[in-house]
Amino acid sequence: MPIREGDYVLLVGDGVRSVIKVVKGSRINTIRGIINGDDIIGNEYGIIVRTSLGYEVAILRPLITDILLERGGRVTQVIYPKDAAQIIISAGIGPGSKVAEAGVGSGFMTAVLAYYVRPDGKVYGYDKREDSIRTARRNLELLGLNEWVELRLRDVSTEGFLEKELDAVILDMGDPWNALPSATEALRTDGILVIYVPTVNQVIKVITAMKGAGYVNVRMLDVTVREWKTEPNEVRPHTWINAHTGFLIIGRRTIRPAAQPTE
């Protein structure tokens, strides 16, 4: 499909990497010179255009994470792609999954969940802050993913989730152990719970609460991604890496058989 006015495109060239909205008559400034919006509109994704300084820039379809990281609004700390990817796999998220998430925050994780539950799944996103819900809604609109998300302004620790029989619940909030009873009630009997917390102090409370609530296969991990340079004469890891974002604690809900009557 050709590139239309209003589409977001990813520009990739020598030292150039940015997401821009294509507008008729616009002049797009890059560190390698100017590109005319009119040179992009109507062409196929993948074309190479030349900047005013003669550099080549590729015009590509952005990933949802490209758009979120560059254009998404933020009112909270967010879950980054390296952790979001692990959450998707660990929670078994796929087309048709029904999943709840609290808090929605800026909606970064919500958007990734929505992308993967399509076309017939649903994400139920909860937050107790109105500005979070508003920002998440805007980010989902930016990506065209609203259809797969119900956003709810609600405190999940005190008021609970409205859904039952969910395949997975994702918690990214300061005190997730307080939401554990509600999350358990919302999950199907062997549903998957994923909790994301940044500190070990929180981890200990989470693990204790999950084991106490009958969760099995309780695992914890953190994700380190080490990017490498890909210059043919310099293939080696980058000098600096992101050292820490958060820990993922993952477990499966169970149900205990009813106690045997005593003789």
Q: How far is the CB of 179 from ligand SAM (least distance, A)?
A: 6
Residues in the chain: 263
CB proximity list for 34: less than 8 A, separation 6 or greater: 27, 28, 51, 52
Give the 3-state secondary structure of residue 115: helix
CB proximity list for 212: less than 8 A, separation 6 or greater: none
Joined tokens for residue 216: 């099995």
148-187 residues in contact with ligand SAM (CB under 6 A) are 155-157, 172-174, 179
Segment interacting with ligand SAM, rule: CB under 6 A, options 11-19, 74-82, 91-99, 241-249: 74-82
* Residues in a beta bridge with 10: 19, 60
Exactly one of 67, 79, 100, 194 binds ligand SAM (CB under 6 A); which one?
A: 79
Residue closer to ligand SAM, measured from CB, 22 or 117:
117
The gap between the terminal CA atoms of the chain, to the nearest Å, is: 73
Q: Which residue has the tokens 């495109």?
A: 9
Q: Is the peptide bond before 103 cis (omega within 30 degrees of 0)?
A: yes
d(CA 95, CA 99): 11
155 is an annotated ligand-binding site residue: yes
Draw the binding track, 30-59, toward ligand SAM (x: CB under 6 A; -: no contact). Answer: ------------------------------
91-150 residues in contact with ligand SAM (CB under 6 A) are 102-103, 105-109, 126-129, 132
Give the 3-state secondary structure of residue 144: coil
CB of 9 closer than 8 Å to CB of 45: yes
Q: How far is the CB of 49 from ligand SAM (least distance, A)?
A: 33
Residue closer to ligand SAM, measured from CB, 62 or 105:
105
190-219 residues in contact with ligand SAM (CB under 6 A) are none
Sheet with 56-60: list strands edge to edge: 16-21, 8-13, 56-60, 48-50
Residue closer to ligand SAM, measured from CB, 30 or 106:
106
Per rule CB under 6 A, is residue 13 in the interface with ligand SAM?
Answer: no
Residue closer to ligand SAM, measured from CB, 5 or 222:
222
CB of 126 closer than 8 Å to CB of 158: no
Per rule CB under 6 A, is residue 76 in the interface with ligand SAM?
Answer: yes
Q: What are phi and psi of 188, to 5 degrees?
A: -65, 165
Number of residues that bind ligand SAM (CB under 6 A): 23
Residue closer to ligand SAM, measured from CB, 41 or 109:
109
Residue closer to ligand SAM, measured from CB, 76 or 86:
76
Task: Provide the binding-site residues for ligand SAM, judged by CB under 6 A.
Answer: 76-79, 102-103, 105-109, 126-129, 132, 155-157, 172-174, 179
Q: Which residues are annotated as a binding site for S-adenosyl-L-methionine?
A: 127, 155, 172
Q: Which residues are annotated as a binding site?
A: 127, 155, 172
